[in-house]
Structure 1
Amino acid sequence: MIDELIRRSIRQMVGGGGPPIAFLSPAGDRGFFGPESIAWKVHADFVSMMIGGISSLVLQALHPKALAGVWDHSTFREDLKGRLGRTAFFIAATTYGSNEMANNAIHRVNQIHQKVTGFDEFNQPYRADDPNLLAWVHLTETFSFMSSYESYRSESLHAQQKNQYFAEMKMLGERLGAIDLPNTYDGTQLAIQHYRDQLHYGERAKSIIGLLDSFPSNLISRPFVKMITGAGFLNLPNWVYPIIHRPVPSRLERLAMRSTIRLMAIPVREALKDGVAAHSLRRVYGSSL
């Protein structure tokens, strides 16, 4: 009963259906990374991935050209759940899917990006397949996922493991068209800093960030959704808060949220234990797992 309520709350936030049977075949296919990768470890924790997804969207909304593609060519503002659901599937497909599933997902995204062009709010031209914009999206996503995992998973990674994660993700980012991506944790932080003078908190960004801050939800899922979005905003780097006109969260605020999320995550992880990662392990090692 509780497990089903949790799963319903998650579907309310990002969509999704029943058991992910598409990840069970073909037998023995290790996909892009394989079960020993850090990507499998980090992306398996759905709670921290949702939190990191919110903070990465906040960061991406601050880049006028990255935001323009979403503003002009997507249903983000009308169908936030659908957009997050498609992003969640892409991450699942490229992390845990078979080689064919992962390649198909990348091909679809690349085809869409080739058609997304226009002018941003400053009347500057943009292309969604611009390597500079693709890198910004990649950097903010991977950094947000790692930061959220470190804060909310209660499982610390040593420096070598964190660097391995960014090295693995570099391959994926390059397949999507980004270039000169860093392959270390420190390198990723530095690369993000190089974008700061390109960021702008205008009316469009305020609209998107306001939508994320008041994520649409029904009465049953509202407490869960509110907690996840709140943690997403606390997962931002400190230098972002002055840009979005918010105070830097105190250490006490972060500790309180961390404790709450870690407690809430226990039944969520139990409810989702037979999810994509578990199905993919059966594909790689056999159905006896």
Structure 2
Amino acid sequence: MTITGTAKPPRGSAAQPHEDYGFFGPDSVTWKVWGYPTSLTVGFQRSVVVEELDPNLVAAVDKTHDIYKRPRTRYDRTLRYFAMVAFGGSRETATAADVLVKIHSKAIGTEPYGGGRYDANDPASQLWIHLTAWHSILYAYEKYGPGPLSPQEEARYWEECAVAAELQTCSPDDVPRTRDGVRRYFESMRPQLQASEIAVQAMDHLLKADVMLPPMPRAARPAAWLVTRVLRAGTIATMPRWMREMSGLRQPSIVDVLVRPILWTSFHAIRISPRAELMALKILSPMTHPVVAPIKLGVAPVNPEVVTPAEARTRYGLDRPAEAHQELRARQAARVFGEGIEPSDEGLIESEPILGRMS
């Protein structure tokens, strides 16, 4: 779909245009919600924290220990991929999704508490990650941003969520299209969630936003400490009571009340200046900056068109994620479950030009 009337690059803009509008574009509800500063801060933090309650997902996270060994790099690469899905060009985003299947092929093993096998490419696991992210981004937008969408906009948001699911190994047919449907999904997942020792450890670690920051000048450390504590409180305030109690994330109700106007005012203020938003993003996630910068600065893509995931796969010769790299996935399973050795690192080096350096 071609969109006319796009903005010209502003004078002095250093942002490089995307090849196209990717899978959504400026008229989408995704750009409206994900483009607000709540999304890549509280929304993103909430999603990665809540995800850890899935025993299979946290088993894969704990196996590599990457969130502890290289937290900033892991945060930077993950946030970049989140942003690419919403704002990136179709070629780079579809390629990133394809490479991610390769990376996830090594995230397999035996879950330490239940003893079952986990696989990061499992469609059920991918659906959990996908819906947790899209729900968290919307919830943060509603709580600390402009507020609820109109019924028509929310319906479009979940339709667009289903479009984005085509970049995962899960089926878009499994994505609920209503808020009630999303609630039912999370209720159905609740009996499977576990606040195991490794889950609680990971959740607490991911709530410490300061571990994701670069080394700060001494004079800036008090302000950075305050910002990260407010973000932590704001993220916990979005989590339901049962989830907090399960995870040991206790926070007084008065903190829930007080943090809301602080964050609402802060996000509203930074929203006024796109350049200020981008400066903050460059500190938080330098690899995400070039994905978001052309959107914030109104830099039109080379081809002003929106592409469907199916069109992208045809154009760039890619398989559907659920069907991609089956031979590699079988080899990895044979290594881990058959020979009892570590999986290979195929896909990791290949991912660096797309998702950023590993270190």
TM over 0.5, yes or no? yes
Equivalent of 2:116 in 97, 121, 124? 124
Secondary structure, in 3 states, of the residue corresponding to 2:118?
Answer: strand
TM-score, structure 1 as length reference:
0.83
Matched, 1:175 2:178: no
* Structure 2 stretches lacking a partner, 5+ long: 1-12, 280-288, 305-359
**Distance change in 2, residues 1:110/1:170 (3 Å):** same
2:171 paired with 1:166? no
CA distance in 1, matches of 2:14, 2:47: 25
For residues 160-209 of structure 1, what are the alpha-carbon distances to aligned partners after superposition, in whole Å with 9 as ceiling and x for unaligned?
A: 21221121111212321112121222211211111111111111012112
Matched residue, 1:255:
257
Aligned-residue Cα RMSD (Å) equals 2.5
Structure 1 stretches of 5 or more lacking a match?
1-18
1:52-67 to 2 correspondences below 5 Å: 52-67=43-58
Q: Partner residue of 2:96?
A: 105
1:210 CA displacement: 2.0
The alpha-carbon distance between structure 1 residues 48 and 152, as it changes in their structure 2 partners (threshold 3 A), is farther
Query: Which amino acid letter does the alignment assign opposite residue 69 of structure 1?
Result: A
Of 26, 29, 38, 1:35 maps to 26
Q: What is the aligned counterpart of 1:25 among 13, 18, 22?
A: 18
Counterpart in the other structure of 2:316: none
Divergent runs of 4+, >6 A: none
Q: Equivalents in 2 of 1:21, 1:108: separation in Å?
A: 25
Q: Report the counterpart of residue 84 of structure 1 in structure 2.
A: 75
Does the CA-based 8 Å contact 2:22-2:89 persist in structure 1?
A: yes
| Cα separation, partners in 2 of 1:202 and 1:162, compared to 1, 3 Å | same
1:195 maps to which of 189, 195, 201: 189
Q: How many residues are treated as equivalent by the alignment?
A: 265
Answering whether residue 238 of structure 2 is matched by residue 235 of structure 1, we say yes
Report the equivalent of 1:282. Answer: 299
Larger Rg computed on CA atoms: 2
Deviation at residue 248 of structure 1 after TM alignment: 7.2
State how far apart, in whole Å, the 2-side matches of 1:243 and 1:38 are. 33
Show the 5 A alignment for 1:116-155: 116-122=107-113, 123-155=115-147
Partner of 1:114: 105
How far apart are the structure 2 equivalents of 1:213 and 1:278? Answer: 26
Deviation at 1:72, TM superposition (A): 1.3
Query: Which residue does the alignment assign to 2:178?
Result: 184
CA distance in 1, matches of 2:88, 2:245: 39
Amino acid at match of 2:242: W
Instruction: Calculate percent identity across the aligned residue pairs.
Output: 25
